[in-house]
Structure 1
Amino acid sequence: MPTTPLERITIEPKSPATSCVIWLHGLGDSGAGFAPIVPVLALPENHGIRFIFPHAPEQPVTINQGSVMRSWYDIKSMDLHNRADMAGVLESEKRVQALIQEQIDLGIASKNIVLAGFSQGGVLSLFTGLRFEQSLAGILALSCYLPTADKLPEQCHPANLATPILQNHGERDDVVPLSAGKMANALLNAAQYKVTWQTYPMEHSVLPEQLTDISAWLQERLLA
């Protein structure tokens, strides 16, 4: 595991935290990009959910002419089969695993932790969640794909075979094609994961209506 914990924005509930959502941002963004959604989710006053928005490390990104930006892994090509640098995916997976373990060590059971992410962060949340060796409360995969393209990741762990997975995608997404999300969904369904697929009339983004649906899903996972 990495010795340096991920920098992050943490939003504590008013009540003592009994559960946690770890939300991973997209390419070139930071944890600050999604932190403002917490009040928009309109959770109950005494919800007890800690939200953690980690910042990806900065690194050169090939498809952006080698520009240095926050990125969970290098993106080498727009071709789905060669898009993700798997060495980088595996390194970031270790960092996210360490963050999950940190919360477990603080007293939040893995079954009360949701791993969420958008775009590149969604890729990492899906990949890490499928391989994590303890059962999670849920995996939220927004506007993303599997880094292993047309197959499931190697060494998927049975601990999360029954974990609810929510996949959302924009019908007009021109960054991560809808077909890439559908491919991941088909693979998950074929392997009998508990996956729910929902599309929205949007580009590569998040809609208020979508956040309302996500809030209901989170409450079912963590507050029911």
Structure 2
Amino acid sequence: MPKPIRDGAGPRHVAIIMDGNGRWAQRRGRPRLFGHHAGAKRVREIVEACPDIGVKYLTIFAFSTENWRRTQSEVAGLMSLFRRYITKEARALREENVRVRFIGDRVRLDDKLVTLMDELELMTADCTGVNLTIAINYGGRDEVARATKRLAEDVAAGKLDPASVNEETLPKYLDTCVLPDPDLVIRTSGEARISNFLLWQSAYAEYEFVDTLWPDFGAGEFGKLVGAYGTRDRRYGGVKA
């Protein structure tokens, strides 16, 4: 169990790029979907660790807009896994007081999955514990493009004065409009790139790139990274007097 973080020292919002499921499976001579199933089980451990270390918001990158380029069988398997995960975990998430939200473009997702997503959001809407946000068919550039389109529509309709648009306006149109920006972004599996994840929101986030493959990433390592965040000097472009 990770050690508790003193109030105010740790990140309030942690976002995770859960990478390495496929490689984890292949190293064991198993199909890639075996790794995705193992990775899905790891999510619960990380969610359960959040309250003890002061993490109020957790956002996980489950499926990107670019992931449709994978093989048809892997994509179909992932969509089946998402449906199964929601169905299996819904009651436990509710009982553990976890509020669940989904971000991303739902247009391309199948109707059954979207219905399950809607139902889980509604079921946990009054939960006050950890805020778990799951990004499915999500891409940072796609999100900004969709937000900009909605903003432009409001300008065209006379609901928004173009002269009033500033850097505080666009976030109101993003999928994450009700969430604080992430303080810490973690990527597993040894890759050191952000892969189109929360581009606008992570402008001042701290990053941690770790070699651990996602199915091996446990609460202990998570707690160490959250604890290390408190040692960083965050100046937001300024300097200390």
Higher RCO structure, 1 or 2 (CA under 8 Å, sep 6+) = 2
Please give the TM-score of this superposition, normalised by the length of structure 2. 0.36
Query: More strand by proportion, 1 or 2?
Result: 1
The structure with the largest alpha-carbon Rg is 2
Query: More helix by proportion, 1 or 2?
Result: 2
Please give the TM-score of this superposition, normalised by the length of structure 1. 0.38
